[in-house]
């Protein structure tokens, strides 16, 4: 089912209670991560919004000024809007707080949700995420589990920035597992295997 609320999105009800919030990468849409979500978490309700920013013909969750240079004001505003949408969707569909499963641009806004609106998520699987911004103060992330999967040869996300993100999330109290994979920016089979294992634990 694809419908609006405040974001165009797709919702698949599933059979379990724990939902996934699927956040696509640049150029994706609300359908892109459905198969990945089903593979990682069979039976989970899947909530998949479409990013509201257009970069040429590509959907994104927030603006960037250049490759790797984010429009921080827009990022923070879009993060607040996405958190509000998540609350709307939880009320509409009767959902528990979701675990975010984000790739690239979607992983970056998922990280921003943890830093700005941590109540929106119960945890996160961040695939090729960078630190979206340096927070002024750290949130309380106690009780939240985060899996961060980075590519050693990722040309878009330097390892140092993903390590900084992992360190900040851990400092804020999250239970963080950070794995460096023999991969670039694209996903590999090990991403799926580790995400499935993490979800099942």
pLDDT at 68: 82
C-alpha pair distances (Å), 40 with each of 44, 103, 163, 178, 193: 9, 13, 24, 17, 8
pLDDT tens per residue across span 81-121? 999 999 999 999 999 999 999 999 999 999 999 999 999 99
The kind and range of the H/E element at 196 are helix 189-200
**Entry pTM:** 0.96
Does the pLDDT of residue 199 top 70, yes or no?
Answer: yes
pLDDT at 1: 55
Total residues found in the chain within this entry: 201
Tokens read off for 144: 């939240």
The CATH homologous superfamily to which domain 2-200 belongs is Alpha/Beta hydrolase fold, catalytic domain (3.40.50.1820)
pLDDT tens per residue across span 133-187? 999 999 999 999 999 999 999 999 999 999 999 999 999 999 999 999 999 999 9
Per the prediction, the chain carries an average pLDDT of 96
The CA distance from 167 to 135, in Å, is: 13
pLDDT at 67: 82
C-alpha pair distances (Å), 121 with each of 5, 113, 145, 152: 19, 8, 10, 27
Q: Report, as residue numbers or ranges, the catalytic residues.
A: 104, 154, 185
With a pLDDT cut of 90, the percent of the chain lying above it is: 95
pLDDT tens per residue across span 38-74? 999 999 999 999 999 999 999 999 999 988 899 999 9
């Amino acid at each position: 089912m694809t419908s609006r609320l405040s974001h165009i999105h797709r919702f698949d009800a599933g059979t379990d209670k724990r939902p996934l919030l699927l956040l696509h990468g640049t150029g994706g849409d609300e359908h892109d991560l459905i198969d990945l979500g089903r593979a990682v978490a069979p039976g989970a309700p899947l909530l998949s919004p479409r990013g509201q920013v257009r970069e040429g013909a590509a959907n994104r969750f927030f603006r960037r000024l250049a490759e790797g240079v984010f429009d921080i004001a827009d990022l923070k505003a879009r993060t607040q809007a996405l958190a509000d949408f998540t609350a709307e969707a939880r009320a509409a569909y009767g959902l528990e707080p979701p675990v975010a499963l984000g790739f690239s641009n979607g992983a970056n806004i998922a990280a921003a949700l943890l830093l700005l609106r941590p109540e929106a998520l119960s945890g996160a699987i961040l695939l090729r995420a960078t630190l979206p911004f340096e927070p002024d103060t750290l949130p309380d992330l106690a009780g939240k589990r985060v899996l961060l999967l980075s590519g050693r040869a990722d040309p878009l996300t330097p390892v140092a920035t993903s390590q900084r993100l992992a360190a900040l999330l851990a400092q804020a109290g999250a239970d963080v597992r950070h794995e460096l994979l023999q991969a670039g920016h694209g996903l590999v089979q090990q991403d799926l295997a580790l995400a499935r294992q993490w979800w099942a634990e």
